[in-house]
């Protein structure tokens, strides 16, 4: 990994220059600041000169000299046009600390690759480059941050980002629960009222919102068989309209019928950025796929898997991992000398994935590339 980063640190300068080559004769100006949640305009400041660079990045022989960013692009798909390993794109920019917010790229931006250096121009002006900059005269440029392309296809993971999906056994047991429907029926759905109970509700105020979930399959460590948690199914949501014991919850949305015993989880109001950076894990990761979302046995590109590694293993959002199929053991009838008759075939890399949501001992990841169907039992390792 250090080798990669050494190559990349020199390439960062080259890669940015290439991206802007089409507009390289334009004087570079400013860089957009970190993305904001609302689509408010941002102030772009002029970049400082960069230090000397190293060897150019390894790029595809078929890499284009110019590419115009289109609506629907992602950082991953854009990087695939230039590199064999798409996750190298952010590595190039992040090695150059003077380049701010390298993941902020917008439809219409011109990316130029020349001699391994990347350059990005916007409206005929260089805004980001891994090549050394000339002395610049700062000026203000206002650009809406709402259109920046996401790191990966955001629509494919939005539902999993906004709804609870994993709970520990203790969390589930102690969570508030649905007692029964106010109208006495067994099943409820929006806009019904339901009675709810739980110690955690004692400090809850009227108007608080909760998601209603149901425990599904348990998730175990494939080697120790330790219970890592439960995958929970999102059923709907509601708002508390009356306190007390029991309190009353008005169902405002329901995907499935809600029944007694279903648990309540506070609505997660945190906003996950669509432009999070792609990263290489900070530590060695040797994990395994323990579940696939959707009940399928195997999945492909842009489908979600569950890993048996999480924040306790220093995994974080944006980490890129290789997926490998474990080599099988076979008997070799033609062994020579004292060679063993049984031999294990090498593991085969069959894909790449990006971690997008992390829990203490498990994580969700999106399959970005697959040469073969990916399924439970396949291993994940550092790229």
- Residue 9 binned pLDDT confidence (cut-offs 50, 70, 90): very low
What is the Cα–Cα distance from 64 to 370, expressed in whole angstroms? 23
What is the Cα–Cα distance from 376 to 365, expressed in whole angstroms? 13
Q: Mean pLDDT across the stretch 263-268?
A: 85
In a domain, 35, yes or no: yes
**pLDDT for residue 131 is more than 60:** yes
For residues 147 and 122, is the Cβ–Cβ distance under 8 A? no
Burial 39-68 (b: 16+ CB within 10 A, else e): eeebebbbbeebeebeebbebeeeeeebbe
**pLDDT for residue 325 is more than 50:** yes
Helix residue ranges per DSSP H, 123-218? 158-162, 169-174
Are residues 144 and 28 located together in one domain of the fold? Answer: yes
- Alpha carbon distances (Å) from 320 to 76, 87, 111, 211, 337: 11, 7, 23, 30, 43
Domain boundary among 232, 266, 300: 266
In a domain, 276, yes or no: no
For residues 16 and 93, is the Cβ–Cβ distance under 8 A? yes
Closest CA to 231 of 306, 314, 177: 306
pLDDT of residue 147: 67
What is the Cα–Cα distance from 30 to 182, expressed in whole angstroms? 60
- Residue 308 binned pLDDT confidence (cut-offs 50, 70, 90): very high
What is the Cα–Cα distance from 228 to 224, expressed in whole angstroms? 10
In a domain, 59, yes or no: yes
Are residues 116 and 198 located together in one domain of the fold? Answer: no
What is the Cα–Cα distance from 269 to 127, expressed in whole angstroms? 33
Rg of the chain over CA atoms, in angstroms? 25
Are residues 70 and 193 located together in one domain of the fold? Answer: no
Q: What is the mean pLDDT of the chain?
A: 77
For residues 369 and 321, is the Cβ–Cβ distance under 8 A? no
**pLDDT for residue 37 is more than 60:** no
**In this predicted model, what pLDDT tens digit does every residue of 202-253 receive, in sequence order?**
878 899 999 999 998 899 999 899 999 998 989 999 999 999 999 999 999 9
Which residues are CB-neighbours of 152 under 8 A, at least 6 positions away? 74, 75, 76, 354, 356, 366, 368
- Containing domain of residue 225, as a range? 164-266
- Alpha carbon distances (Å) from 322 to 94, 165, 303, 362: 21, 24, 15, 17
- Token pair of 290 as six digits: 């323990």
Residue 195, strand partner residues: 180, 248
The model's pTM: 0.66
Closest CA to 89 of 62, 55, 108, 113: 113
**In this predicted model, what pLDDT tens digit does every residue of 358-383 receive, in sequence order?**
999 999 999 998 999 999 999 999 98
Of 145-149, 244-248, 297-301, 328-332, the one with minimum mean pLDDT is 145-149
CA 36 to chain centre: 18
Q: Mean pLDDT across the stretch 269-284?
A: 75
pLDDT of residue 236: 93
Closest CA to 77 of 278, 321, 271, 272: 278
Which residues are CB-neighbours of 316 under 8 A, at least 6 positions away? 279, 281, 282, 355, 358
pLDDT of residue 57: 57
In a domain, 274, yes or no: no
Residue 218, strand partner residues: 230
In a domain, 55, yes or no: yes
pLDDT of residue 39: 36
pLDDT of residue 92: 64
Which letter does DSSP use for residue 308 in this model? S
In a domain, 210, yes or no: yes
Counting beta carbons within 10 angstroms of the beta carbon of residue 276, is it exposed (0 to 12), middle (13 to 18) or buried (19 or more)? buried
Are residues 55 and 146 located together in one domain of the fold? Answer: yes
What are phi and psi for residue 263, nearest 5 degrees? -95, 160
In a domain, 15, yes or no: yes
Are residues 113 and 191 located together in one domain of the fold? Answer: no
């Amino acid at each position: 990994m250090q080798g990669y980063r050494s190559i990349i640190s020199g390439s960062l300068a080259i890669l940015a220059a290439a991206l802007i080559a089409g507009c390289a004769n334009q004087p570079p100006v400013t860089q957009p600041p970190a993305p904001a949640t609302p689509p408010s305009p941002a102030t772009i400041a002029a970049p400082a000169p960069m230090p000397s660079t190293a060897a150019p990045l390894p790029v595809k022989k078929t890499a284009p000299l110019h590419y115009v960013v289109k609506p629907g692009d992602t950082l991953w798909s854009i990087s695939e046009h230039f590199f064999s390993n798409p996750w190298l794109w952010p590595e190039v920019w992040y090695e150059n600390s003077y380049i701010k917010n390298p993941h902020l790229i917008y439809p219409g931006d011109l990316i130029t690759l020349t001699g391994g250096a990347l350059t990005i121009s916007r409206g005929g002006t260089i805004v980001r480059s891994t090549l050394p900059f000339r002395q610049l005269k700062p000026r203000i440029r206002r650009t809406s941050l709402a259109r920046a392309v996401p790191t990966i296809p955001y629509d494919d993971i939005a539902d999993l980002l906004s709804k609870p999906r994993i709970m520990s056994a203790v969390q589930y047991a102690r969570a508030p629960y649905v007692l029964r429907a106010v109208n006495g029926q067994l099943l409820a759905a929006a806009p019904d009222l339901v009675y709810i109970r739980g110690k955690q509700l004692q400090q809850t105020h009227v108007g608080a919102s909760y998601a209603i979930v149901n425990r599904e399959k348990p998730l175990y460590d494939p080697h120790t068989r330790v219970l890592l948690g439960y995958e929970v199914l999102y059923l709907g949501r509601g708002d508390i309209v009356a306190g007390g014991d029991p309190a009353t919850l008005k169902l405002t949305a329901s995907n499935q019928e809600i029944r007694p015993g279903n648990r309540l989880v506070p609505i997660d109001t945190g906003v996950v950025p669509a432009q999070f950076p792609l990263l290489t894990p900070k530590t060695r990761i040797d994990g395994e796929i323990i579940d696939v979302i959707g009940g399928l046995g195997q999945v492909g590109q842009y489908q979600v898997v569950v890993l048996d590694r999480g924040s306790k293993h220093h995994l974080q959002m944006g980490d890129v991992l290789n997926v490998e199929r474990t080599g099988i053991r076979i008997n070799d009838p033609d062994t020579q000398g004292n060679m063993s008759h049984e031999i294990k075939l090498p593991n085969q890399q069959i894909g790449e994935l990006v971690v997008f949501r992390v829990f203490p001992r498990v994580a969700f990841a999106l399959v970005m590339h697959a040469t073969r169907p990916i399924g439970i039992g396949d291993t994940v390792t550092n790229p």
